[in-house]
Amino acid sequence: MQSNKKNILVVDDDKVSLKLVGTKLSQAGYGVIEESSSRCVIDVLKNSKKNIDVILLDKIMPEIDGIEVLKFVKSQDNLRNIPVIMQTVDTDDSHILECISAGAFHYLAKPFNEEITLAIIDKAIEESNNKNRLIKEMKDYNFSLGLMTHGCFEFRTPVEARDLSFLISKSFPDPESVLIGINELMINAIEHGNLGIGYAQKTKLINNLTLQEEINKRLKSKKYQARHARVEFTRNKDNISLYIKDMGDGFDWKHYMEMSAKRAVDPHGRGIAMARMLSFDDIQYMGKGNEVLCTVKL
């Protein structure tokens, strides 16, 4: 049950499916707005007085296809940060990648699976809250590294990674565009690097809603508590670069540089690709994968 009710916009031209999903989400404690017409959805998004926290959108719709609704959402300044979860029977790899590349947070295959859907919605809300909070803190933060040409910072926890993310982002020409990418890579350095949380294990922890609990546990353990990560900031006349290094065993980064249809249905695993697409001009992993150099051209 949600302590603060969040509103989910559910869109499906199949009214039986729409009612089933809407009922299950209502029982889980969400406020639900149901729409069976994609044209009406756009009107709702433009005019609704309710804050919409997540959109659960059927891809195959009459009149206006779901992918077009997704593109509309991502084109609007006041809507683009709403997580959109696509749901459809169409699980062809190219269609999954189309949705993820257009900005979908996640892609769920029909028929409706209550446990997985609720876990993904919870994760979408969590990430959206984190992103919005980061952006707000960055905008409110008055200090800037604009006069610094080189600096080195150490961090150990997700909170420290967050604070450093919006501090460092203020030194870039477009802080909001790099903020999420910086945060994603620094969180990777903690979770996958220093704390040794593997991909499959993280998937299970997210689905069980126990990821943060496991992070806190490992941060206090003797095995991991002395580990820290390092980020170096360098500015010259041509570019700004960030070098991030953790104390973990590394990973096979080659599989994560591009969007993958196989990972599109997982609740994570898109951070590096999204950082490469949206935040930086170049990302290079080095050594065993526990070092990464990110660059923005000036």
What pLDDT digit, counting tens, does each position of 49-78 carry? 778 999 999 998 888 889 999 999 988 888
How is the chain split into domains, by residue range?
7-128, 141-297
In tens, the pLDDT along 129-144 reads 877 877 777 777 656 6
Q: How many CB atoms neighbour CB 65 within 10 A?
A: 14
Whether residue 131 contacts residue 81, with contact meaning beta carbons closer than 8 Å, is answered with: yes
Give the per-residue pLDDT at 238: 94
State how far the alpha carbon of 39 is from the alpha carbons of 9, 46, 74, 80, 107, in Å: 14, 11, 16, 18, 21
Give the per-residue pLDDT at 3: 47
Q: pLDDT category, 115, cuts 50, 70, 90?
A: confident
Which residues share a beta bridge with 282? 295
Give the per-residue pLDDT at 143: 61
Share of the chain above pLDDT 70, in %: 94
Whether residue 257 contacts residue 283, with contact meaning beta carbons closer than 8 Å, is answered with: yes
Mean pLDDT on 255-284:
81
Choose between 265 and 120: higher pLDDT.
120
Whether residue 197 contacts residue 205, with contact meaning beta carbons closer than 8 Å, is answered with: yes
195 pLDDT higher than 70: yes
Fold exhibited by the domain 141-297 = Heat Shock Protein 90 (3.30.565)
Give the per-residue pLDDT at 144: 60
Residue type for position 60: I
Q: pLDDT category, 1, cuts 50, 70, 90?
A: very low
Strand, coil or helix: 107: strand
Q: What top-level class would CATH report for the domain 7-128? A: alpha beta
246 pLDDT higher than 90: yes
- What is d(CA 38, CA 84) in angstroms, rounded to the nearest whole number? 14
Give the per-residue pLDDT at 141: 63
Q: pLDDT category, 96, cuts 50, 70, 90?
A: confident
In terms of DSSP bridges, do strands 84-88 and 282-286 run parallel, antiparallel, or are they unpaired? unpaired
In tens, the pLDDT along 198-218 reads 999 999 998 888 999 999 999
Whether residue 47 contacts residue 75, with contact meaning beta carbons closer than 8 Å, is answered with: no
Mean pLDDT on 149-153:
91
Tokens encoding 84:
């959109």
Buried (b) or exposed (e) across 99-117, using 16+ Cβ within 10 A? bbebbbbbbbebeeeeeeb
- What is d(CA 83, CA 124) in angstroms, rounded to the nearest whole number? 6
Out of 171-175, 193-197, 204-208, give the one with best mean pLDDT: 193-197
Whether residue 10 contacts residue 56, with contact meaning beta carbons closer than 8 Å, is answered with: yes
In tens, the pLDDT along 76-89 reads 888 888 999 998 88
In tens, the pLDDT along 21-58 reads 999 999 999 999 999 988 888 888 888 777 899 999 99
- What is d(CA 43, CA 82) in angstroms, rounded to the nearest whole number? 16
Give the per-residue pLDDT at 122: 87
227 pLDDT higher than 60: yes
Give the per-residue pLDDT at 2: 45
Element (H, E) at 192: none
